[in-house]
Every structure is written in C-alpha cells, then in structure tokens.
Amino acid sequence: MLDSAGKVAERGAELVARVLRVRPNAVLGLATGKTPIKLYRQLIGKYRAGELSFGRVSTFNLDEYLGIEPDDPRSYRAYMEREFFGHVDIDRANTHIPACPPGENPKQVGPRYEERIRHAGGIDLQILGIGQNGHIGFNEPSSSLNSRTRVKTLAGKTVEDNSELLSPGEFQPRLAITMGIATIMQARRVLLLATGAKKAAAVAQMVEGPVTAMCPASILQMHEYVTVLVDEAAAAALKNRAYYDLTFRENEALDERFGAYYADS
C-alpha cells in the first residue's frame, strides 16, 4: 500500500525497469484504462533520462474493442500510441493488440493472438488494472477461469463506466476481444495497479475473498508471482492491511540487500 496514485505509478515503473534490466528483450503484457497512464508517464520519463530502452521489448495488450477502427481515438491502439508507444523507442512491429481487422471473423483473432504470444516466448510481466466489478482485461464476472483470448460481451457496469468517455449518440462498443484468464495466468509475473476509492471493494474481494469467477481478479490468488500496488483509497476495504504493508517493507529490504529476484533470470 502506497500513499498516492503517483507513488503507485513510481513503484510500478521501478518494477518494470528492474525486469527490463534483467531482460532487455522482455515481453510485456500491457493494460489500458485510466490507472496505467501515470505508470506509462513514469516509463517515458525513464526512457528520456536514458535509464531504459524499449528497443528490444515486445508487447501484447490485454484487449481491444470490436467495431472500433485502430485510428479511432477511442481504440486501445490509439490509446497506446498516445500514452506510451508514441513517446518511446519501441518498434511498432513488436507491439500487438487483439484487434479484429474489418471483414474478418472476430472468433479467429483469439487463437491467432495466443499463437503470437507463444511464439514470442510467453509474457514476462503482465501489467493489469482492475474493473470496479473485479474484471481483468475484459474478463467480466462469470468468465471461465480457464478462458483464452476470445470475444467477450461487456457487462452492463463496464458499458456504463465507459459511457463517461463518449459523447451522446456515439457508437458504444458492447463487444471486445480480450486475453483470457488462463492467458493472463500464464504470464511469469503480474503487476496489478489499483487506485481510488471506487476500486476498494474489488481490491478487497480480489485479495481476501474466495477465488471465484464472479470476481475474475481473485484467480490471481493462485498465481505464483503477483505484485499488487494500491493507494490508500483503494486499500481501504482490506482487513489485513497491516500485514501486507509489513510484507511489502520486508520484501523491499531484502531486494535492496540482495537484488530483486526475478523468475527465469
């Protein structure tokens, strides 16, 4: 738990930087939404300061809307350009988003995307946000915990949250292509960021609730290597907060003394 959304982004960026130091050609899983914007700004800052290069990095985004063209400012491709890719030295050929080209069968996109991830050697670090209803990517409550990249119908709550970003009368996507829960679980390491009071209930359910498809993020309890970074407001409903803070500090102290452990390094 950190005091502010700014600190969450700083710590998150430091963690990404540590991974890239060990593995400059890492495969990163990327998220969209409001939460990771500050993290991307921090990474851009590190790139500009000459601390990091994305020249050998490949990326796989979690999800994309169906029926929105890549050059539409509402697409996640446009978001990634605006918030991150356009400001760093990443090779666009190494950036992947599960978009469905016009006229193609969206059901074929998922298996192809999975194949690309496999071909790249799997995801080293998956960055995640969390929806107010506990979704990760667009894996809405009731999604199979064993799902793979596929077309998903957005939940009413997600459509409602997204509608804040649209002008009245604008086409509102109700379908998306998202990495599945099993796809996310296969990442070697996961970094989930949550900030703000609206996320408090979902964070508590994810960390302290039962593992259930009704809170897709709760499956992360079964992942081998997850870091959850939250600010005060998002941590507010956690019962066992003092213990998590202690664990975090102890781990930091160990990392400082011995260097950060990184699986497969």
If one asks whether residue 138 binds ligand GLP (CB under 6 A), the answer comes out as yes
Catalytic residues: 63, 133, 135, 140
Nearer to ligand GLP, 183 or 262 (CB): 183
Nearer to ligand GLP, 46 or 134 (CB): 134
Nearer to ligand GLP, 69 or 252 (CB): 69
Candidates 17, 23, 33, 67; binder of ligand GLP (CB under 6 A) is 33
Nearer to ligand GLP, 52 or 136 (CB): 136
Candidates 54, 59, 63, 219; binder of ligand GLP (CB under 6 A) is 63
* Least separation in angstroms between CB 174 and ligand GLP: 13
Candidates 28, 35, 98, 187; binder of ligand GLP (CB under 6 A) is 35
Give residue 218's identity as a one-letter amino acid code.
S
If one asks whether residue 42 binds ligand GLP (CB under 6 A), the answer comes out as no
If one asks whether residue 79 binds ligand GLP (CB under 6 A), the answer comes out as no
Chain-centroid distance of CA 142 in Å reads 19
Interacting residues of 20 by C-beta distance below 8 A, sequence separation 6+: 26, 52, 53, 54, 57
If one asks whether residue 67 binds ligand GLP (CB under 6 A), the answer comes out as no
Site for ligand GLP, rule CB under 6 A: 31-35, 62-63, 129-131, 137-138, 158
